[in-house]
Amino acid sequence: MGLLTVNYCNLLFSSVILVEMTKDDIISLPNDHLRQRSKKVGVVSDAVRKLAEDMQAATLDWEDSREHEVGVALAGVQVDELTRIVVIRQDFDDKTNRNFNVFINPEITKFEGEINEDFEGCLSIPDVYGKVPRYSKVRVRALNLQGKQVRIKAEGFLARVFQHEIDHTNGKVFIDHIKDKPEAYFRLEADGSLTPLDYEKNIANNAALWE
């Protein structure tokens, strides 16, 4: 519901050390890359698989720095890679399960069910939450890490996550769905509770949030 750091450090004698991404690689608004459409992956290469691993590492590092939040998913653009890759947590309720599924070139083929409002946050919009309308069910087509096509029927929170992340691949963030809804914005407090934000003061004229 992070700029890209160098992933390879060249040392003496041309040796190379692989460096995992961290939370510091996750870009945030007003970075205008978050408003750009990502490109499709042509070939599921080792570089694509490494990017997926890095995205998972960055998400978990972010989660480890937040007391009351879980890193449920991330899109490639959020680590400043305009590539249609999405990683989604396998278990949203168990923080000890730190495994993810990877979806390459994901697209929603059908929206189904009812439109419901629920809270969403975003690693690229720190400390702002919103009550966002989403379809309760979606059908998704994507490639897996082996380059094979997969089809998913998602409902409930998973359907919301897919819609949120696929929005990212199209240059859209969750606040775009509630731009003109003053009552839809909330702040995460230190104790983990959500309290309403003053729309005029914190949102409407916040140049960091809008193009």
Which among 107, 165, 183, 211 is annotated as catalytic?
A: 165
Q: Write down the residue that tokens 């140049």 correspond to.
A: 207
Q: Give CA separation, 155 vs 88, 139, 162, 178, in Å.
A: 14, 9, 10, 21
Q: Give the count of beta carbons closer than 10 Å to the beta carbon of residue 41.
A: 18
User: Are the CB atoms for 75 and 100 separated by under 8 Å?
Assistant: no
Question: Beta strand pairing status for 100-122 and 85-89?
Answer: antiparallel
Q: Is 68 exposed, middle or buried (0-12, 13-18, 19+ CB in 10 A)?
A: exposed
Q: Is 117 a catalytic residue?
A: no
- CA–CA gap between residue 204 and residue 182 (Å, rounded): 8
Q: Which two tokens stand for residue 158?
A: 């998973």
Please report, in angstroms and rounded to a whole number, the separation of the first and last CA atoms in the chain.
21
Q: What is the token pair recorded at 50? A: 């490494």
Say if residue 138 is exposed, middle or buried (CB neighbours under 10 Å; 0-12, 13-18, 19+): buried
Give catalytic residue positions: 165
